[in-house]
Chains A and B, each alone.
Chain A
Amino acid sequence: MNVVTNNKWIGQRTIRPDGMDKVTGRAQFAADTTMPGMIWGKILRSPHPHARIRSIDTSKAEKLPGVKAVVTSKDIVDFPIEKGAVMLGIQDMRWMCRNVMARDKALFPGHPVAAVAATTEAIAAEACNLIEVDYEVLPWAIEIEDALKPDAPILHEFNKWEGKPSNIVGRLEHKKGDIEQGFKQADIVIERTFTTRPVHQGYIEPHACLISVAPDGKTTIWSSSQGQFMVRAMTAHLTGIPQSDIRAIPAEIGGGFGGKTIVYLEPVATLLAKKSGRPVKMVMTREEVMRATGPTSGSKSTVKIGATKDGKIVAAHGTFYLQAGAFPGSPIRGAAGCSFTPYDIPNLLSEGYDVCSNRSKVAAYRAPGAPIGAYAVECVLDEVAEALKMDPLDFRAKNAAKEGTKAAHGPVFPRIGYLETVEAAKASPHYAAPLGDGNGKLRGRGVASGFWFNAGGESSAQVNITEDGNVVVTTGHPDIGGSRAGIANICAELLGIDYRRVSVIIGDTQTVGFSNLTGGSRVLFASSMVVTQSTEKIIQTLRERAAKIWNIDPEAVKWENGAAHPVSPNAGQFEPLTLEELADKAPAMGGPIGAGVQLNTQGADGGFGTHVCDVEVDVDLGIARVIRYTAVQDVGRAIHPGYVEGQLQGGVAQGIGWALNEEYIYTKEGKVDNPGFLDYRMPVCSDLPMIDCIMVEIPNPKHPQGVKGVGEVPLVPVMAAVANAIYNALGKRFYALPMSPPKVLEKLDEPIRQAAE
């Protein structure tokens, strides 16, 4: 593999290929699609947090004029629990079939129990109201503490923990050394317990799809997702239609952040379409999104860290309980596996517990689990550094994982850039700047670091040279972070042509080879590998064509600046043959020029970031605002710096929301009380300062362009950075998120605790 240097396009802030359509409103999202004869699907959802479904009577709904089909769990392919896991990526189809449509039990308010397709949305909604569901209402538990009580209502009676029915549905641990011995060496040990609330990914675009099933069974799905192949496979599993009959067409996506890596509507709409013979469209309301699609876990974490007087961490123990919601699968791997990873800790035990409760099933959210774990660990580190009277960045630098450090989750690190992020944060103008006068408000500064695994996996690409000598690249990944722009930059660089001559499109499932989800910060890493190899094949073909025309050896031809040239005058004296000329001659010289590559990509290096945050607290109102923020990250290689910065800023914005205001609030009946953007308070622009980015570039040696995933790391450190800054401002520590105004004011009004601590 050649690492490209002296780049013309890589590293340029080129115009995003999909930008014009998006800013002018021309871009087609799933809800924009229509078809002749289309009808509307609606879902009837459980009003109860926990209820056995005794029976469902759909007869009245079916008789309502305008109703064309009704679907219940009987129509969905069952994956019996006792037959064991059927995994599709990280999702077990046993849970997916029960999540898209409740079978014996409804497990959260909003759990689908039936669906209707009718000629109008209003008729479909009216028909839903005519469906009679006989529920046996059961006691319920939403919060982790409630779900873990000895007498807690059990969601899945078959699940046993330590021999008894339990809501603990899984555990993992990462272990290194001996923590008992380690803590004995420590001069200072600090242990704290933290809680976080469930937070939603908050994508602007609700889930939507339009599905047509032709009489011969050929199925076409237009939908918004983070993976058309995932949509196809899950729909196939849950409907019994073979994958070869399902064409899943990816619409433009209005945000996903991990939350669109699973399906909710597609299998249901497919069955409605199949039954009715009409194309069926379904669009969730915001309320449905908030009630029934995955937020990430609420959590309860206990972290204990021991260090010697000279600032060396000798032992650490983390226990992370994460709320899975209705079905197993909370991101304990991210919490337990990422939280301590920036540090070289000889004795470590990191445990994760997966806890079911009567809330919607968790879905991936940007570095799933890692921000939850890092919040606890990085806050305790701040306390340890303070106790040791060390600068928190110096403390982190002293304990930084480096090349050769063995991470508790397995790998021995190659060359990594964590220490460089700490050094860059320390050297940043932000860290050197005085906090300034808050004019009556209290100011403080905090720092925190974070790690995310990043991922490789399956990707496919086809690169074709058009007859006029331009380039079309087809990849298989929905573009949620600017990947089309990055791919265009790389392809243009390799071919030595203007990037505007490269058109990057996202193929549907039947026109491009299997490509795994857009997730895990994997897309540019993986798809640029297959695009690079495809383009290299094309360049080889172009050299061979030129050699044939010139009647010289292909080895005597080089490709430069978009044209074939003899490698040296010795090879022959020929005018260069441009891409356009070779495309023009293609029919006579062996036919169309194109190449496709499919790989299970390997070599994705993890990503590290270190953040610096300044806050200002209005102590009379309890309002904390972030007034300056710098995100430092080892980005490998910034193929498109604008979109790398966009990822960093977006992650930070979401983290600030999580830290300060976002949370699921429940009524005493166990229903989400804030299922909309008014009371589920994500930050708006004016809540945030301009977020400064420092990109540290330590290229990934296992990638042709040095790419590392960048999309998820920037959410990991944020809540701890904000919490540490608020402590610095107020001298009071918060052990629970969000640090919303009523909670901050309550804390400020607490009497100062006596010297016992």
Chain B
Amino acid sequence: MTELRYLAPETLDEAVGAFAKAGSAARILAGGTDLLVQMRSGILKPGVIVDIKKIPEMTAIEETADGGFRIGAAVSGMALAEHGKFGKVWPGVLEAVNLIGSKQVQGRASAGGNLCNGSPAGDSVPAMVAAGAIVTIQGPDGRREMKVEDVPAGPGRTHLKPGEILVSFKLPPRPPASSDAYLRMIPRTEMDIAVVGCGVSLTMKDGTVTSARVGLGAVAPTVLLVEDAAKALIGSKLDDAALAKAAAACSAACRPIDDKRGTIAYRTKVAGVLLKRTATIAAQRATQKN
């Protein structure tokens, strides 16, 4: 029987050292809501588990000097929800993070784990992509930054190099009249996995969209940044024609599969429907704050 070693380092350097040393046998443990399930079902049999929750930076929520936020990769959904200000500035990111699993799971699950799990259906990822989040990664060769949309490489895979650990998400400062939203389609009302997920972040001026980003999940091997949808929104007043054009861009960006969770036709259509609804909510939020 294979042995399993559990490590809980208190510094990032130690964690990176242990993780790199153990090689492919090692797995990072944040909330464990994916890892433990995969171990239980026999998909994964790691030899070493590196628990990163004892590292202060990993569980910290900071407001940066420029007015942005830095969210530790292991911050739980519940901790993020309880932060006084984050949800006011990034309501879409927060609602996406809070959709991961049940209430019990929320006490553990983190956006970092959600991203590194590599699922195209991870709820927080399209919202982070829409938000323009930058991730900080630390590995044996030191620190580097990456756009969040560049992290996923395919189902279950990321572009992190061997030994690298996701440290935090950096969210940019918000201009006035900016907001975001995330919606997902699930057959049930909760305790489910996105058939399509859509995050929209935008900034408005006098009723016109001045900047926008759109993230789309569960419709391709990785979460997508849909620039054509954003372009259709920018400069518009979110009139029906602009929304239809953005929706069509989302549908066009889809490269989904037929599977037990939904059909190609269904996902393609729903991607557009969700874009319209998500953009409308984000715009309402952005203008309400004026």
Contact = CB atoms under 8 A, between A and B. Distances in A.
A123 B2 CA distance: 11
B260 A679 contact: yes
A687 B1 contact: no
Interface string B247-290: 00000000000001111011001100100000000000000000
Interface stretch (B132-140, B159-167, B186-194): B186-194
A742 B273 contact: no
Contact of A621 (B188, B190, B270): B270
Contact of B192 (A123, A678, A742): A678
Interface string B184-203: 01011111110100000000
Contact of A661 (B188, B269, B270): B188
B265 A621 contact: no
B273 A621 contact: yes
B1 A122 contact: yes
A683 interface: yes
A424 interface: no
A47 interface: no
B265 A746 contact: yes
Interface string A121-147: 011001000000000000000000000
Interface string A719-752: 0000000000000000000001110011001000
A625 B193 CA distance: 18
A673 B261 CA distance: 10
A365 B192 CA distance: 25
A686 interface: yes
A620 interface: yes
Contacts of B263: 742, 746
B188 A681 contact: yes
Contact of B187 (A122, A123, A623): A623
A740 to B, nearest CB: 6
Contacts of A665: 260
Nearest to B40: A285
Contacts, number: 56
Interface in A579-630: 620-623, 625
A746 B193 CA distance: 21
A392 B81 CA distance: 49
A684 interface: yes
A742 B262 contact: yes
Interface residues of B, number: 20
A284 to B, nearest CB: 14
A561 interface: no
A208 B71 CA distance: 44
A551 to B, nearest CB: 67
Interface string B10-37: 0000000000000000000000000000
A749 B268 CA distance: 13
Given A678-B192, A683-B188, A686-B189, A622 B266 contact: yes
Contacts of B265: 742, 746
Contacts of B189: 625, 684, 686-687
Given A679-B260, A741-B266, A686 B190 contact: yes
Contact of A684 (B190, B195, B270): B190
Given A621-B273, A674-B260, A742-B266, A684 B187 contact: no
Contacts of B188: 661, 681, 683-684, 686-687
Contacts of B270: 620-621, 745
Contacts of B191: 678, 684
B190 A681 contact: no
Contacts of B41: 287
A653 to B, nearest CB: 13
Interface in B17-70: 41
Contacts of A679: 193, 260-261
B260 A741 contact: no
Interface of B: 1, 41, 185, 187-193, 195, 260-263, 265-266, 269-270, 273
10 contacts: A120-B1, A621-B270, A623-B187, A625-B189, A678-B191, A679-B261, A683-B188, A686-B188, A741-B187, A746-B265
